[in-house]
Amino acid sequence: MVKRVHIACLVLFGAVTVAGLASTSAALSGRDKPTAIATLGATLLSSGPIQQGHASLACQACHDPAPGTLRQQMQVLARGTPVDVGFSPVNSAICADCHDRPADRHPIHRFNEPRFRKALDTVQANTCLGCHSEHENRRLHRADTGFRAACHADLTLKRDPLDVPHVTLVKQDNWQSCLTCHDFHGNHAHSPQTRMQAAFPLEAVNAYFADGPSPYGLKPLTAKDAR
C-alpha cells in the first residue's frame, strides 16, 4: 500500500482549530457531526459518519498518535522527508487487535504468498482496508464482484453439490452470485445453500455491505471492545 503523509486533515493550533470546528459543526448534526480528537497539539476532524458497529469506539481506538512531538514532526517535514504528522495511518494490525478471527477462511496473510501476487493488482486482499472502509457509513467499499474472479477463475469442485455447478457459474462470469451463498470470512454460523433458488437476494447482501442487517445470521465471533 502507498504510504501517505497524513497532514491533509490536520487542523493545527489555537484560533484556526476553534474557528474551523465551530463553523463545520454548525452545519451538521448527530452521527454526521465531526468529533475532534486532539493530541500533541494537533486535531483530527472526523472525515465522515462511522459504521454502526464502531459507533461507540473512541477515535483513538483506530488512530494512534504518530511518533514524536508535533514540533519534531514538523521539523522532519520541513527537511522534505515524508513523515506522519499528528496521527499514524490506520493499518490491519489495529483492526486485528479487536477482530481476532481464528477461523477466517480468507486470512490476509495468505495473500502474501507469491502465487497471489497478480491477484493483488485487482484487490489488496492482504490488508483489511483493501475491502473495508470507515467514515463512509459502510462496512465494505469493495463490494464489486471483480475481485472474486482474481482468485477463483479456475474453480472446480470434485463433488459439486450445487444445482448449477460452480464451473457453470464461472463460465457465466456470475461472480456476483458467490456472496449470496458464502460469507467471505466464514465467521457466521451459516452453511452455503445448495440451490440457486435458495441463495440470498443480491440486494440483501449489498444492503449488509452498506451497514444493514446480516443475511448470514448472527456472528459466532464478536470483536473485543477494549483497547
Cβ at position 102, least distance to ligand HEC in Å: 12
Determine the Cα angle at 46 with ends 207 and 203, to 5°. 5
Contact status: 83 vs ligand HEC (CB under 6 A): no
Residues sharing a CB contact under 8 Å with residue 55, sequence separation 6 or more, in sequence order: 31
Burial class for 41, CB neighbours closer than 10 Å (0-12, 13-18, 19+): middle
Segment interacting with ligand HEC, rule: CB under 6 A, options 19-27, 77-85, 113-121, 213-221 = 213-221
Contact status: 119 vs ligand HEC (CB under 6 A): no
Measured distance CA(12)–CA(110) in Å, rounded: 40
Instruction: Pick the binder of ligand HEC from 193, 200, 206, 212 (CB under 6 A).
Output: 193
Q: Position 136: which residue type?
A: E
Contact status: 177 vs ligand HEC (CB under 6 A): yes
Contact status: 99 vs ligand HEC (CB under 6 A): yes
**Cell numbers standing for residue 198:** 435458495
Residue 12: its H or E element: strand 10-12
Instruction: Pick the binder of ligand HEC from 17, 86, 131, 215 (CB under 6 A).
Output: 131
Contact status: 192 vs ligand HEC (CB under 6 A): yes
Show the DSSP H helices in the chain as ranges.
14-26, 70-78, 92-98, 119-122, 146-152, 166-171, 202-209
Instruction: Pick the binder of ligand HEC from 40, 74, 98, 204 (CB under 6 A).
Output: 98
Q: Binding mask 132-161 vs ligand HEC (x if CB under 6 A, - otherwise)?
A: x-xx---xx-x----xx---x--x-x---x
Do the Cβ atoms of 81 and 124 come closer than 8 Å?
A: no
Contact status: 175 vs ligand HEC (CB under 6 A): yes
Instruction: Pick the binder of ligand HEC from 11, 66, 83, 95 (CB under 6 A).
Output: 95
Contact status: 204 vs ligand HEC (CB under 6 A): no
Residues sharing a CB contact under 8 Å with residue 174, sequence separation 6 or more, in sequence order: none
* Half-sphere exposure for 12 (CA within 13 Å, toward CB): 10
* Residues 48-77 interacting with ligand HEC (rule: CB under 6 A): 50, 53-54, 57, 59, 61-63
Cβ at position 200, least distance to ligand HEC in Å: 9
Instruction: Pick the binder of ligand HEC from 21, 40, 45, 76 (CB under 6 A).
Output: 45
Do the Cβ atoms of 4 and 89 come closer than 8 Å?
A: yes
Contact status: 130 vs ligand HEC (CB under 6 A): yes
Contact status: 125 vs ligand HEC (CB under 6 A): yes
Contact status: 185 vs ligand HEC (CB under 6 A): yes
